[in-house]
Amino acid sequence: MNTAAIAAPNRRSFRDVWLISAGHGLTHWYTATFYLLLPLIGKELGLSYTEIGLIMTVQHLAGAISNLPGGMLVDTVGKKGYLMATSLFWVGFPYALMSLTHNFWMLLVCVALVGIGNNLWHPAAIPTLAYSYPARKGLVLSFHGMGGNLGEALAPVVVGALLVWFSWRTVVVINVVPGFVMAIMILVMLGALTMGRKREDSAINAAGGSWNGKKYLRDFASLLRNKGLMLVSCSSAFRTMTQVGLLTFLPVYLAYELGYSPLVAGICLTVLQVAGFIAAPIAGHLSDKVGRKRVVISSMLLTGVMIVGMALAGKSAVFVLFIALVGFFLYAMRPVLQAWAVETTPTHLAGTGVGLQFGIQAIGASIAPAIFGMIADAYDIYTGFFFLAGTIIFANVLIFFMPNTADGQKVAPAITG
Could you give the percent of the chain with pLDDT greater than 70? Answer: 81
pLDDT band per the 50, 70, 90 thresholds, residue 415: very low
Q: Residue 290 forms beta bridges with which residues?
A: none
Mean of pLDDT values over 290-307:
85
pLDDT surpasses 70 at 114: yes
Mean of pLDDT values over 200-221:
59
Residue among 340, 245, 326 at smallest CA distance from 295: 340
Q: DSSP secondary-structure letter at 207?
A: B
Query: CA-based diameter of the chain, in Å?
Result: 66
- Cα separation of 76 and 57, whole Å? 29
Mean of pLDDT values over 305-310:
84
pLDDT band per the 50, 70, 90 thresholds, residue 375: very high
pLDDT surpasses 70 at 207: no
pLDDT surpasses 70 at 121: yes
Yes or no: domain 3-194+222-404 corresponds to CATH 3.30.470.20: no
**pTM for this model (two decimals):** 0.66
DSSP secondary structure of 8-38 = HHHHHHHHHHHHHHHHHHHHHHHHHHHHHHH
DSSP secondary structure of 51-105 = HHHHHHHHHHHHHHHHHHHHHHHHHHHB-HHHHHHHHHHHHHHHHHHHTT--SHH
Phi, psi dihedral angles at 215 (to 5 degrees):
-65, -40
pLDDT band per the 50, 70, 90 thresholds, residue 78: low
- Cα separation of 235 and 284, whole Å? 17
Residue among 243, 142, 205, 105 at smallest CA distance from 415: 205
Task: Report pLDDT for 404.
Answer: 60
pLDDT surpasses 50 at 2: no
pLDDT digits (tens, 9 = 90+) for 3-48: 443 344 444 446 777 888 888 888 878 877 888 888 888 888 888 8
Residue spans of the domains in the chain: they are 3-194+222-404
Residue 350 CA, distance from chain mean position:
17
Average pLDDT, the chain: 76
Q: Within 13 A of 239's CA, how many CA atoms are on the CB side?
A: 32
